A and B are shown apart, each in its own frame.
Chain A
Amino acid sequence: MTPRLRNMSDEQLGTALGGLGDRLAWPETPDVAAAVRRSIAERQTGTDAVTVGSRRRRRRLVLAIAIAVLMLAAAATAAKLVIDLGAVSIRIDPNPSTGPSARFDPAALGRPASLAEAERLIGRPLGVPVALGPPDVLWVDRARAYAAATHGTPVVAMAWAPRDGLPPVPGTSWGAVLIRFEGEAAFAQKLLPPGGIDLVEVFGDTAYVIEAPHELRLLAGDRVRSFLVRGNVLLWQEGPIAWRLETALPQASAVRIAETLRA
């Protein structure tokens, strides 16, 4: 530290930092405004999908996720806005289809397994919300397309029976269902009309709440299945892992549960 800096008060040091602002070698700012404007225009004219997520990251994964992308693409029509959460995406469509009638059953995701087996398959601690405790039932899925893109890491679904403070999710026999997706290959898509989604924060990062009935398209057992979801869904991402929590609770309660997730 130079003597000048050493003798400065916090206020003086702050002033010195203020003078530093325009002298740092910041990267050049590209014309983000124009790119954002183009994305919005594309959305308004419906000429293309606007996908939120890393374009470079997706390019790197094209080969690895080819099977899954083709399967989901076949199930999808022209999108208006897609929010990319890695393995899970949310598609906002002004003209959603009438939707499926089959209610979502996490058992569709795979076969029952123990917590220890799931952790062995994913190769690390699973992560369970302390607020919910150990799951009553757990399933794992090792669909070929999913395994090909995630080097064998399965989707894991956990469910808890209803109890005090955990009312049943409409249309299901569960009080909470938590699904863990790993990787950046697209394996689940939520379809909903504009306005059906809210932004919250989980662990300080943006998360999404869907509280309206919506369609869930899911790659399960190597085929795309479509379900009607009537519970409140919270979606968030932690690095390469996307989490989906469905409950009948208000969003603040769901966020509190999510933030007790511990490996």
Chain B
Amino acid sequence: MTHDGGSNARPVEGRPLDDADLLERARGGDADAYAELVARHQDLAMRVAWLITRDAAEAEDAVHDAFVKAWFALPRFRQGSPPRPWLLRIVANEAKNRVRAARRREALTVRITAASEDPARSPEAATVAREDAEALAAALGTLREPDRLVIAYRWLFDLSEAETAAALGVPVGTVKSRTSRAMARLRAALARQEVTG
């Protein structure tokens, strides 16, 4: 997954286009630039939508429709703001509109592959034993959506506090307090696992 948006950029005068460049072109009506922006963020958008809907088909619909809505809303984008949190906010809103209370939710599970178990794959992964990863995934899956989302933005997707604040539409100070409360609830969920076995 590309979070910084650098992999597909077209070179201009030897420099790849960053998200702000692409968004500015899209605002001028360049649908190709917009498609490239979407391509950069579709993985992250899909994960955010799925964390909310816990339904892959609903998440796919939400992501598609959110990106079409965002294109339509480009004239209202505040210039100078980072595009990624703005896009994620629209995706998350679209996904929330699709949550159906009675639907069965897909579980958060750890993908067990040789690559994922290779400690050399990433330093962070090496710090999380498989047993811990499974416990964390299960606990995360029991949290309410606002807690799950703030933890995902801050830790799973490595957004800064400022980006998380923009994506959630709240002040940075609120992100700090929400993260703290969400982490406390995550610990409580982990402790419940210990009790229930």
Interface residues of A (CB under 8 A from B): 1-2, 4-6, 10, 13-37, 39-41, 44, 50, 52-56, 81, 83, 92, 195, 198-199, 201, 204-206, 237
Complex contact B158–A21 (CB within 8 A): yes
Check A34/B35 contact, CB under 8 A, given A81-B72, A83-B69: yes
Check A41/B97 contact, CB under 8 A, given A4-B129, A17-B155: no
Complex contact B71–A36 (CB within 8 A): yes
Inter-chain CA distance A231–B182, complex, in Å, is 42
Within 8 A of A (CB), among B165-197: 169, 180, 183, 186-187, 190-191, 193-194
Produce 1/0 per residue, B50-67, CB < 8 A to A.
Answer: 100000111111011101
Distance (whole angstroms) from the CB of A84 to the closest CB of chain B: 8
Q: Which residues of A contact B19 (CB under 8 A)?
A: none
| Cβ-closest chain B residue relative to A13 | B183
Produce 1/0 per residue, B13-45, CB < 8 A to A.
Answer: 000000000000000000110111011001101
Complex contact A22–B116 (CB within 8 A): yes
Within 8 A of A (CB), among B49-96: 50, 56-61, 63-65, 67-69, 71-73, 75-76, 90, 93-94, 96
- For residue B133, CB closer than 8 A to chain A, the reply is yes
Q: Which residues of A contact B122 (CB under 8 A)?
A: 19, 22
> What would be 17 A-B contacts, judged by CB atoms less than 8 Å apart?
A1-B135, A5-B135, A16-B136, A20-B128, A20-B156, A23-B125, A24-B108, A26-B111, A29-B42, A33-B42, A40-B31, A41-B31, A54-B61, A54-B65, A199-B73, A199-B76, A204-B96
Q: Which residues of B contact A81 (CB under 8 A)?
A: 72
- A22, A40, A206, A237: which contacts B34 (Cβ < 8 A)? A40
Distance (whole angstroms) from the CB of A208 to the closest CB of chain B: 10
Q: Which residues of B contact A4 (CB under 8 A)?
A: 129, 132
- B1, B73, B94, B156: which contacts A17 (Cβ < 8 A)? B156
Q: Which residues of B contact A50 (CB under 8 A)?
A: 68
Check A19/B45 contact, CB under 8 A, given A30-B60, A37-B31, A44-B31: no
Q: Which residues of A contact B111 (CB under 8 A)?
A: 23-26
- B38, B59, B75, B116: which contacts A33 (Cβ < 8 A)? B38
Q: Which residues of A contact B160 (CB under 8 A)?
A: none
- Count residues on chain B whose CB falls below 8 Å from chain A CBs: 72
Inter-chain CA distance A55–B98, complex, in Å, is 12
Complex contact B186–A13 (CB within 8 A): yes
Distance (whole angstroms) from the CB of B34 to the closest CB of chain A: 7
Check A33/B68 contact, CB under 8 A, given A17-B156, A19-B133, A198-B76: no
Q: Which residues of A contact B46 (CB under 8 A)?
A: 26-27, 29-30, 32
- B32, B35, B93, B136: which contacts A201 (Cβ < 8 A)? B93
Inter-chain CA distance A50–B124, complex, in Å, is 42
Inter-chain CA distance A198–B78, complex, in Å, is 13
Complex contact B169–A27 (CB within 8 A): no
Q: Which residues of A contact B4 (CB under 8 A)?
A: none
Distance (whole angstroms) from the CB of A255 to the closest CB of chain B: 13
User: Of B60, B72, B127, which is in contact with the most chain A CB atoms at under 10 Å from its CB?
Assistant: B72
Q: Which residues of B contact A41 (CB under 8 A)?
A: 31
User: Of B116, B155, B180, B187, which is in contact with the most chain A CB atoms at under 10 Å from its CB?
Assistant: B155
Distance (whole angstroms) from the CB of B124 to the closest CB of chain A: 3
- B43, B124, B137, B187: which contacts A18 (Cβ < 8 A)? B124
Complex contact A36–B124 (CB within 8 A): no
Check A35/B64 contact, CB under 8 A, given A4-B132, A19-B122: yes
Distance (whole angstroms) from the CB of A100 to the closest CB of chain B: 25
Produce 1/0 per residue, B103-128, CB < 8 A to A.
Answer: 00010111100001000001011111
Check A195/B124 contact, CB under 8 A, given A2-B131, A35-B64: no
